[in-house]
């Protein structure tokens, strides 16, 4: 009996020595998508520091039909930043201090969580830190929000594999989206919303398409408009042909990004309907697929008149960024 007790004690001691440091529990973070809590005094918020924060963190999203901010900012003084308020997913902590620092803290009070800390000994130092580090903080928060959006719609996915059959890619698509149209080189998926629809289209183009930098913008618009004319009709109007085009009055914004390790060109602007007053935002992703000697084009666009569209477009981007090449 004594031998058994000694052996048990030794096993317990060995086990406890190999457990390593205990991981502290972090509660799940809370908050609406693209909503940022700004912990800052009323005096700083209402002065030049607050103006500079709004200039960067509430800047208009590019490619929408009217101005909507990158983030909704909700100001609160430090005394309010306690308890579950600290569990907000996205936070900016801005204050006058004895140090001049700016950095991002990840999962400090909850998970996932990004907290942008901006301090300075004077208001001028704080403003300088905002100008220097805002883009890094915006990127950190936006990346987290995309992942959070993806995690939410992973709960219920569409089982249709049309994109795999047509183009050899998979996509995490919420079950509320349905296949609307398919042709030889075209797939249209959509979902109804209260005042319109959210849409994803996909098609492929030859590898050497859009390869001339000097004519890229013109070639891109011509490509989009030809797809719209062929596959995306507008309302029936007597004696008029209606179809989706690229709005002439708004030059597209282009960015370089990456999806599933593929070099990708992202384009954002406004679509409209030829010969009919309809319009809305679109985001096109042109992915290099050298292995298959092609470029894959996947676009999200929204029709939602008299409605804010930022969050709709954010969801479409989150879906498209789940693309995996087989």
CATH of the domain at 228: 3.40.1000.10
The string over 201-238, giving b where at least 16 C-beta atoms fall within 10 Å of a residue's C-beta and e elsewhere, is bbbbeeeeebeeeeeeeeebbebbbebbeebbebeeee
Number of domains in the chain: 2
**Cis before 103 (ω within 30):** no
- Taking only Cα atoms into account, the Rg of the chain, rounded to an integer number of angstroms, comes to 25
Q: The whole model's pTM is what?
A: 0.90
Q: Where are the alpha helices (DSSP H) in 119-252?
A: 123-153, 162-167, 216-231
pLDDT at 155: 84
* Same domain, residue pair 171 and 302: yes
pLDDT in tens, 218-258: 999 999 999 999 999 999 999 999 999 999 999 999 999 99
Q: Distance between CA atoms of 128 and 225, rounded to whole angstroms?
A: 44
* Same domain, residue pair 169 and 130: no
pLDDT in tens, 287-322: 999 999 999 999 999 999 999 999 999 999 999 999
In a domain, 14, yes or no: no
pLDDT at 232: 96
Residue with tokens 């498209």: 320
Range of the domain at 232: 162-325
* Same domain, residue pair 183 and 75: no
Residues of the chain with pLDDT under 70: 1-23
pLDDT at 240: 92
Nearest one of 326, 295, 306, 284 to 65, comparing CA atoms: 306
Nearest one of 153, 99, 137, 140 to 315, comparing CA atoms: 153
pLDDT at 22: 55
In a domain, 50, yes or no: yes
Secondary structure, 3-state, 29-71: CECCCCEEEEECCHHHHCCHHHHHHHHHHCCECCCCCCCCECC
pLDDT at 2: 46
* Same domain, residue pair 70 and 199: no
In a domain, 30, yes or no: no
pLDDT at 141: 98
* Same domain, residue pair 243 and 148: no
* Same domain, residue pair 293 and 167: yes
Q: Distance between CA atoms of 45 and 38, rounded to whole angstroms?
A: 9
Q: Give me 115's structure tokens.
A: 């907290």
* Same domain, residue pair 176 and 138: no
């Amino acid at each position: 009996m004594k031998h058994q007790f000694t052996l048990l004690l030794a096993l317990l001691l060995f086990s406890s020595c190999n457990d390593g440091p205990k991981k502290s529990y972090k509660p799940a973070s809370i908050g609406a998508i693209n909503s940022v809590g700004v912990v800052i005094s009323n005096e700083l918020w209402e002065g030049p520091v607050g103006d500079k924060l709004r200039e960067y963190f509430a800047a208009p999203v590019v490619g929408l039909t009217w101005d909507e901010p990158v983030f909704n900012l909700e100001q609160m003084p430090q005394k309010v930043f306690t308890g579950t308020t600290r569990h907000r997913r996205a936070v900016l902590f801005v204050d006058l201090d004895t140090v001049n620092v700016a950095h991002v803290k990840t999962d400090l009070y909850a998970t996932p969580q990004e907290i942008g800390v901006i301090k300075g000994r004077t208001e001028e130092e704080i403003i300088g830190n905002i100008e220097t580090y805002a883009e890094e903080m915006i990127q950190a928060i936006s990346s987290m929000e995309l992942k959070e959006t993806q995690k939410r719609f992973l709960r219920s996915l569409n089982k249709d594999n049309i994109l795999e059959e047509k183009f050899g890619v998979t996509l995490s698509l919420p079950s509320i989206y349905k296949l609307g149209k398919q042709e030889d080189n075209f797939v249209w998926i959509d979902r109804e919303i209260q005042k319109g629809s959210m849409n994803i289209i996909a098609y492929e183009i030859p590898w050497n398409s859009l390869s001339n930098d000097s004519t890229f913008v013109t070639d891109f618009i011509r490509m989009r408009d030809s797809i719209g004319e062929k596959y995306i009709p507008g309302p029936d109007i007597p004696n008029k042909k209606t179809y989706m085009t690229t709005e002439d009055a708004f030059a597209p914004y282009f960015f370089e990004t990456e999806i599933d390790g593929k070099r990708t060109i992202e384009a954002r602007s406004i679509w409209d309907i030829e010969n009919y007053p309809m319009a809305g935002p679109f985001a096109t992703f042109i992915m290099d697929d050298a292995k298959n000697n092609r470029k894959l084009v996947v676009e999200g666009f929204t029709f939602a008149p008299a409605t804010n569209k930022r969050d709709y477009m954010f969801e479409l981007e989150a879906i498209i960024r789940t693309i995996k090449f087989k």
